[in-house]
Chain A
Amino acid sequence: SQQGEEDPQALSIQEGENATMNCSYKTSINNLQWYRQNSGRGLVHLILIRSNEREKHSGRLRVTLDTSKKSSSLLITASRAADTASYFCATEFSGGYNKLIFGAGTRLAVHP
């Protein structure tokens, strides 16, 4: 069953602004991953943060993880129109061996 919740469900911003998406989960995890999906297409892996990590950066992406609150956030800085997509967090349970449970997703629209 789906365990992750994400907010906001939809986010509309202008190019150059930052976009922040949040994800919450319910059980102990090995890691949390963020994925991007363009409309009707496959998933693109963005970043993985392990349960013993608190923050991770990759280019314009910054991910934080708070295991005490069972939550994570994805920040996209200086957004571009090409960032328009749906973003999903996915958690791997402890002992899950790549079995991922996805959050509801955030649909991001970046306007030129």
Chain B
Amino acid sequence: GAVVSQHPSWVICKSGTSVKIECRSLDFQATTMFWYRQFPKQSLMLMATSNEGSKATYEQGVEKDKFLINHASLTLSTLTVTSAHPEDSSFYICSAGETGYTEAFFGQGTRLTVV
């Protein structure tokens, strides 16, 4: 199956700083990628749909100015958590789909801890 790589796998940052998380499709092109957030012992919540060459589509309740998404190429989407606060500490995971496949491929996830 296709491979989606996410980086970093974990990051610790200070309150008020910004953190960028990368999601790459390694062997296929993805016009659309998805970003999810997961709090401890909870399910994955869809945050936004990242669209190559256009603005991301955010789910209700997700602050677009807080979670900046850039999908500048067919193989890379980035999620930047701006002015991070401890309540942003979570597990962030991306997915991408390859044309012709019904299965979505997930990155390994990024555990963000804001101190």
Q: Do A and B bind each other?
A: yes
A residues with CB within 8 A of B: 1-2, 30-31, 33, 40-43, 45, 48, 50, 88, 90, 92, 97-105, 107
Known: A42-B93, A42-B107, A42-B108. A99 touches B102 (CB 8 A): no
Query: B102 touching A40 by the CB < 8 A rule?
Result: no
B residues with CB within 8 A of A: 1, 32, 34, 36, 41-46, 49, 59-60, 91, 93, 95-97, 102-109, 111
Q: Specify the chain A residue showing the minimal Cβ separation from B106.
A: A43
Chain B neighbourhood of A43, CB < 8 A:
44, 93, 106, 109
Question: Quick one: which of B93, B103, B109 contacts A45, CB cutoff 8 A?
Answer: B103
Query: A48 touching B109 by the CB < 8 A rule?
Result: no
Chain B neighbourhood of A90, CB < 8 A:
44
CB of A33, distance to nearest CB on chain B (Å): 7
Known: A1-B60, A42-B93, A48-B102. A100 touches B34 (CB 8 A): yes
Query: B96 touching A98 by the CB < 8 A rule?
Result: yes
Query: A2 touching B45 by the CB < 8 A rule?
Result: yes
Name 10 interchain pairs, CB-CB below 8 A, sorted by A: A33-B104, A40-B111, A41-B108, A41-B109, A88-B44, A92-B102, A97-B97, A99-B34, A104-B43, A107-B41
CB of A38, distance to nearest CB on chain B (Å): 11
CB of B60, distance to nearest CB on chain A (Å): 6
Query: B106 touching A42 by the CB < 8 A rule?
Result: yes
Further contacts, 10 of them, CB under 8 A, given A98-B32, A99-B46: A1-B60, A33-B104, A40-B111, A41-B108, A42-B109, A45-B103, A45-B105, A45-B106, A100-B46, A105-B43
